[in-house]
Every structure is written in structure tokens, then in C-alpha cells.
Amino acid sequence: MTPTLYGIANCDTIKKARKWLERNNVNYVFHDYKKSGVTKDMLTDWALELGDWEVLLNRRGTTFKNLPDVAKENVTEEIALSLMVENPSMIKRPVLVCDGGVMVGFKSTDYETILA
């Protein structure tokens, strides 16, 4: 399986992850979910693999912070998945999907382990 890196092209962390993959000669596919979207099924599968949907939700970003307080306080899995489909900026980045599983965020040591 060719690893797929999910994210937004202009994200600094995505740029770091892509540089690492290229420096380490890892063939990968980049999926920009601002352009190509993300489905609820994809997010559900990732959450199952990760064991927790909250790992995917970027609560630090401005998109989430701009939600009304009542919406931020009462986020359920169903609501979070819908919000992330509608607003891919709310998904933590990057998401790497490969034979080794699903990983959220970028740390070179973790990439070395999961892509070994």
C-alpha cells in the first residue's frame, strides 16, 4: 500500500512531513482535503483505527475557536465528524495512512517507525 498523506497544502506541518517523506525516498500520495474533500466514512475509519475520534479534532485552530461557545462545549463524535467533513481545517494535520496504520501529527521518529 502506498502511504497517503492527508492535509492542506499550505500547512507548515504538512510541508515538514512532505519534505521528510521526500528526503527518505518514501513514495506517497498527497490528498489535499481542502480541494478533494474528506468523507465521514474516512474519518470514522481513522477514529476506529486510532481508538478515539478526539485525536482527529483540531480544537486549537481558528475554525474551531470561531464556533459558538455552546457548540464547542457540547461536541459529540457525531457532531465532530460532521464539522470536520464541512470544515477540513478542523482536522489535525497531517493524517498519514499506511500499512502500519493511521498516524496524526508529524514526528520524524514516529514516521520512521510506522513506515519501516
User: pLDDT digit of tens for each residue in the chain (116 aa)?
Assistant: 899 999 999 999 999 999 999 999 999 999 999 999 999 999 999 999 999 999 999 999 999 999 999 888 889 999 999 999 999 999 999 999 999 999 999 999 999 999 98
Q: Checking DSSP bridges between strand 29-32 and strand 95-98, what pairing results, if any?
A: unpaired
Could you report the per-residue pLDDT of 10-19, keeping only the tens digit for each?
999 999 999 9
Per residue, the 3-state secondary structure of the chain, as one string, reads CCCEEEECCCCHHHHHHHHHHHHCCCCCEEEECCCCCCCHHHHHHHHHHHCCHHHCECCCCHHHHCCCHHHHHCCCHHHHHHHHHHCHHHECCCEEEECCEEEECCCHHHHHHHCC
Q: Residue 45: which CATH number?
A: 3.40.30.10
This prediction has a pTM of 0.93
Domain count, the chain: 1
Q: Checking DSSP bridges between strand 95-98 and strand 4-7, what pairing results, if any?
A: antiparallel
Identify the domain containing residue 15 by its residue range. 4-114
11 is catalytic: yes
Q: Please check whether residue 12 is in contact with residue 37, taking contact to mean a CB–CB distance below 8 angstroms.
A: no
pLDDT at 71: 85
pLDDT at 74: 87
**Active-site position among 8, 11, 50, 114:** 11
